[in-house]
Amino acid sequence: MIKIAIPLADGRLCAHFGHCQQFALLDVDEQTGKTTNQKLLTPPPHEPGVLPRWLREQGANVIIAGGMGQRAQQIFEQNGIKVVVGAPSHGPEQLVADYCAGTLAFGANLCDH
């Protein structure tokens, strides 16, 4: 089982994880790619290093984001969370299905800091 975190704004992937309204946390069966549970959580205020630790405490193994700075990526990886950036602005179920199928389209990292 993996737990995938996706930053959301208005129910779709937020371009910058630090400015999202909510995080979708989806439990996914690695063998089948099926979502077995989904929660929507309001994140703590965005400050450097807070979200990676908070998501680790929630059990996240992977974060799918539109954009994320290099330092944030390093902090996520130090917390044992795989970072996927450049994802399109889709809903969480579609992003997870595409990720598990190996068909998630990646664009440019939408964050430059």
pLDDT by residue (tens digit) across 39-48? 999 999 888 8
- Answer whether residue 45 is part of any domain: yes
Instruction: Work out how many domains the chain is built from and give that number.
Output: 1
pLDDT at 113 over 50: no
- Answer whether residue 78 is part of any domain: yes
Q: Which range of residues forms the domain containing residue 5? A: 1-9+36-113
d(CA 35, CA 28): 4
- Answer whether residue 73 is part of any domain: yes
- Answer whether residue 96 is part of any domain: yes
- Answer whether residue 23 is part of any domain: no
CATH assignment at residue 42: 3.30.420.130
Q: Which residues contact 101 (CB under 8 A, 6 or more apart)?
A: 33
- Answer whether residue 26 is part of any domain: no
pLDDT at 17 over 90: no
- Answer whether residue 65 is part of any domain: yes
Of 97, 101, 57, 55, the C-alpha closest to 76 is 55
List, for residues 26-62, the tens digit of each pLDDT value. Answer: 999 988 889 999 999 999 988 888 999 999 999 999 9
List, for residues 93-110, the tens digit of each pLDDT value. Answer: 999 999 999 999 877 665
